[in-house]
Amino acid sequence: MKEHINVLFVDDSEGDVLLIVRELNKAGYAVRHRRVESAELLSHALDEKWDVVLCDYVMPGFSGLEALKLVLDKRPGLPCIIVSGQIGEETAVSAMRAGASDYIMKDKLGRLAPAVNREIREAREREEKREIQAALRAREDDLRLQQEVGRAKDEFVGFVSHELRTPLTVIIGGLRTVLAFHKLVSEEEERQLIEGAVAEAEHLNEIVENLLYLARAQTNRLEVLRTTVDASEVISGALKQIRTVGTGHQFILDCPSPVRVSADPVKLGVILHNLLVNAVKYSSPGEVCVSLRCKDGMAVIAVSDRGVGISEEDQERLFQPFERVGVSRDTTKGIGLGLLVCRRLVEAQGGRIWAKSRIGEGSTFFFTLPLAE
Ligand code: ADP
């Protein structure tokens, strides 16, 4: 059976081309071919699939060297054999130097089929090698990525375990002491130990809750059940809850009238809780204000404190996972997930979140939620 090959001719003579095709037919090839004789047509033709280019060297208005350069530029792996009648030894050498795969005289066409055969085979081998190398590289990249993911996972597990273990140690230690020395410690000391354990358990609970929200957001399993809610009521509830912690702060609600938003009240509560916890954590006892306004079809909720503030540079990193910024990093408890969770929950409800802050003057965290229709 004849082997099918696709041959692109760059030649000004149809007669010569037919002669060459016949020569290739004789050698056992079924040839699909096209002839072009200008740079423009050659450039177009090179977009198609060819096995070999057979290029005349001297043509009116288009030289073999120009054609060769075009082929090499556009299709570097495609063999290009010069087939010419008027080519001296020196010209042939310069064509080979310029990147031709071979050169054949038109009066010695017997050499053509073996040259075509060899060039096509070698080009295919080169292509196969390239494909194998590319597949190998892709596998290596894949393996490296898997290793990196594995390392990141290990780091994450180590980090989280450490953050979970610290409060657990306090809880277990406190409760064991109460049990072991029940009759020996004063009631006040006992109360302090239990209060310490409860505070740590709450901190633990916050970490685990944030981790769960984040994991759900990451795997698109964050269920947002939006209903029409009065945002000021949810804010009042969040303020009531934080007041019970007894941090010494004064909490102010600045909301002139009820504002109905389309939101998931539980998620809204979590956002407010995280922002209020931060406002308290990163400020000395003072005023913390939550305000609620409407603008362009959105409710804008702002939580402000008069605390340590955040530098402009640090503000850009606030909503990244595990980012803790400024001096507060070393003096307060936290793992840098609260704001990321806020962002995921706000965005899942069609809003956005951002911060304005100045070092030493305090911070305001704003977020928006769509107003109910
Ligand atoms: P965490 O509080 O657990 O560290 P967050 O994601 O809630 O994590 O906050 C990330 C970082 O942003 C905090 O570590 C802190 O440096 C900074 N930050 C957040 N809220 C405030 C705030 N109200 N005032 C100053 N810094 C803040």
Cβ contacts of 18 within 8 Å, gap of 6 or more:
none
Decide whether any atom of ligand 1 lies within 6 Å of the 210 Cβ: no
Ligand 1, atom nearest to 318 Cα: 12
Q: How does DSSP assign 199-232, residue by residue? A: HHHHHHHHHHHHHHHHHHHHTT------EEEEHH
pLDDT of 166? 86
Asked if residues 287 and 361 have their Cβ atoms less than 8 Å apart, the reply is no
For residue 371, the 8-state DSSP code is B
Cβ neighbours around 373 below 10 Å, total: 7
For 99-149, the DSSP string reads T-SEEEEGGGGGGHHHHHHHHHHHHHHHHHHHHHHHHHHHHHHHHHHHHHH
Return the pLDDT at 159: 82
Q: What global pTM score does this model have?
A: 0.64
Ligand 1 probe mutation, 335, 339, 342, 356, most atoms within 8 A of CB: 339
* Per-residue pLDDT reduced to its tens digit, 141-182: 999 999 998 988 888 888 888 888 989 999 999 999 999 988
The pLDDT tens digits for 93-134 are 889 999 999 999 888 899 999 999 999 999 999 999 999 999
In this predicted structure, what is the pLDDT of residue 152? 84
Q: Which of 162, 164, 205, 324 to mutate to test the pocket of ligand 1 (most atoms within 8 A of CB)?
A: 324
Ligand 1 geometric centre to CA of 370 (Å) = 25
- Mean pLDDT across the chain: 93
Count of Cβ atoms closer than 10 Å to residue 37 Cβ: 18
Q: Phi first, then psi: what are they for 369, rounded to 5°?
A: -140, 145
Q: Which residues, 6+ apart, have CB-to-CB distance to 148 below 8 Å?
A: none
Q: Is the dihedral of CA 202, 208, 214, 217 positive or negative?
A: negative
Comparing CA positions, the residue from 10, 102, 114 lying closest to residue 55 is: 10
Q: Is 278 in the pocket of ligand 1 (CB under 6 A)?
A: yes
Please tell me the distance between residue 336's alpha carbon and the centre of ligand 1 in angstroms: 7
Between 45-54, 220-229, 258-267, the lowest mean confidence (pLDDT) is in 220-229
Please indicate whether residue 328, judged by its CB atom, sits closer than 6 Å to ligand 1.
yes
Token digits of residue 268 = 């809204």
Q: Whose C-alpha lies nearest to ligand 1, atom 21?
A: 278
- pLDDT, tens digit (0-9, with 9 covering 90-100), for 12-25: 999 999 999 999 99
State in Å: Cα 325 to ligand 1 middle: 7
- 323-352: per-residue pLDDT in tens? 888 877 778 888 888 999 999 999 999 999
Q: Taking residues 79-84, what's their average pLDDT? A: 94
79 within 8 A of 122, measured Cβ to Cβ:
yes
Mutate to test the pocket of ligand 1, among 207, 214, 271, 282 (most ligand atoms within 8 A of CB): 282
What is the mean predicted confidence (pLDDT) over 301-320? 95
